[in-house]
Amino acid sequence: MPSANVIDQLLSTRRDLWRARTQGAGRQVLPTGFSLLDEALHDGGWPLGASTELLAEGLNWPLLLPALRQRLPGWVMLINPPWLPGAHWLAGQGLVPEQLLVLRDVSPRDALWAADQSLRAGCCALVCQWLPARGITDRDLRQLQLAAAKGGAWHLLVRSPAAATQAAPAALRLQLAVDARGLQLQVLKQRGGWAGQSLLLPLWPELAGLQRQPVQTWPVHLTELPQLRRARPLSRSASVAALARA
């Protein structure tokens, strides 16, 4: 009977077989910068060469900043973003504004074409596009998935939370909500791993303990009160002159 090592060696040569509880062979990932999120993802980070769907209202930069600070080689392309921070803010977050390419107010068809070409060219570290609520077909999504696989880039699709009930070919699907505690994430789908996990990524861990303390114990900022000076008494002659002017 062959040993377990021999069987493992034979199975490792079959790229068309998925083995439970093991990471996908040859799949490249980018660490998210959040250890809790990396542990919940089967491959341990943002999948490269595959599409990731983020179901959220707009785009929350704190979720992506830790990965973008790794100074990825290539352009960072944003297609039809609802808003964009200024260059000074981006530089203050450790990003390179000159690395950013932005396409705004382009039609859905032109946006799909631009994303497809950018992904296939292999010149972008990240292609992030905002999809409209209607007009995008399953064929469009599969085309983008194939383009990402060819170029090996990090491909992010931002869609409305209403799309959570729709099927999608993306390798990873996350639903994002933001509250006072931080980023609320739910794993809707991930390639080769379990879904259904709910995560809380605190944005201000140093303030987390304050929520469990009485408000009277919270630190407050006290402004310095102005010092009051006592008026000097007037001399007798000055008092007489003041009464005369009155």
CA atoms within 13 A on the CB side of 166: 16
Q: State which fold the 26-204 domain adopts.
A: Rossmann fold (3.40.50)
Q: In this structure, is the dihedral angle defined by the CA atoms of residues 59, 60, 66 and 69, taken in order, positive or negative?
A: positive
Domain boundaries along the sequence of the chain: 26-204
Mean pLDDT (whole number) for 54-68: 85
Q: In this structure, is the dihedral angle defined by the CA atoms of residues 107, 110, 116 and 117, taken in order, positive or negative?
A: negative
pLDDT at 9: 64
77 — pLDDT class (breaks 50, 70, 90): very high
Strand partners, 50: 154
Q: Which residue has the higher pLDDT, 73 or 151?
A: 151
pLDDT at 228: 61
pLDDT at 39: 92
pLDDT tens-digit readout, 215-239: 566 566 656 656 666 666 656 665 5
193 — pLDDT class (breaks 50, 70, 90): confident
Instruction: Extract the runs of DSSP E, i.e. beta strands, from the chain.
Output: 29-30, 46-47, 50-55, 75-79, 100-103, 124-130, 154-159, 172-179, 182-190, 198-202
DSSP state of 233: P
Question: What are the structure tokens assigned to 159, written together?
Answer: 């869609």
State yes or no: pLDDT of 119 exceeds 80: yes
State yes or no: pLDDT of 244 exceeds 90: no
Strand partners, 53: 157, 173
Q: Which of 102-116, 132-146, 232-246 has the lowest mean pLDDT?
A: 232-246
State yes or no: pLDDT of 55 exceeds 90: yes
State yes or no: pLDDT of 16 exceeds 50: no
Q: What percentage of the chain exceeds 70 in pLDDT?
A: 71
Residues 6+ apart with CB under 8 A from 53: 156, 157, 158, 159, 163, 168, 170, 172, 173, 174
Cα separation, 95 vs 136, in Å, equals 31
Mind giving me the DSSP string for 6-42? HHHHHHHT-TT---TTSPPTT--EE--S-HHHHHHST
Mean pLDDT (whole number) for 202-220: 59
- Which residue type occupies 183? L
Q: Is 240 helix (H, G, I), strand (E, B) or coil?
A: helix
pLDDT at 19: 46
Calculate the average pLDDT of the chain.
Answer: 80
